[in-house]
Chains A and B, each alone.
Chain A
């Protein structure tokens, strides 16, 4: 069974601050997805990364896939209260195993 770790588990910041959350595995990912989940709702897909070193941007969110495809980061610039939520990464590995991390719960205070 593959393990997928997210850090930090909780993050509370002020509006306007920047932040980075991480997703790591000891094995090489085939692909990795990031989702955001708001309270009382299902997760919503934000992005998929596939190629080592890949960087994708979605407005103020920047997603990076590690060169070795074992880790990924999500950076938010100038966080807003609307960014509050649970950020989940989900990875699949070469043996077709797929699982979700436990998530980073982000709170952005006005």
Chain B
């Protein structure tokens, strides 16, 4: 079974702090994704990566950056956390575009609260 793990289930940070969310997958997937999920808005794509050191902006990249130094690890960085970044953050991975790119496997999520 594919396993996607996220570094924290719950996180509380203060406004202005730098926040790191880490995601690791064990199935050698090329694609990795970061989403945020808010009530009534569904999942919104922040960034995705289709290879090591490659990244593409999603629908809502403002205020976020990402890093992918190794194939299995994809990090989301909030440079200066703000209260409107309080949300559930979900990481996912999938096989490459030529295959089943849209069948994504998700981690359990990190519920981030910024106070």
Contacts and interface: CB of A to CB of B under 8 A. Distances in A.
Q: Most chain-A CB neighbours within 10 Å: which of B40, B41, B97, B102?
A: B102
B106 interface: yes
Contacts of B97: 96
Contacts of B40: 9, 102
Contacts, number: 49
Interface string B5-28: 000000000000000000000000
A95 interface: no
Interface of A: prevailing SS? strand
Contacts of B90: 42-43
Interface of B: prevailing SS? loop
Interface residues of B, number: 21
Q: Most chain-B CB neighbours within 10 Å: which of A35, A40, A42, A99?
A: A42
A43 B103 CA distance: 11
A33 B92 CA distance: 14
B65 interface: no
A41 B42 contact: no
A48 B108 contact: no
Interface residues of A, number: 21
Contacts of A33: 102-104
A11 interface: no
28 contacts: A9-B40, A31-B102, A33-B103, A33-B104, A35-B106, A40-B109, A41-B109, A42-B4, A42-B90, A42-B106, A42-B107, A42-B108, A42-B109, A43-B43, A45-B103, A45-B104, A48-B102, A48-B103, A88-B43, A90-B43, A90-B102, A90-B104, A96-B97, A99-B42, A100-B42, A100-B43, A102-B42, A103-B42
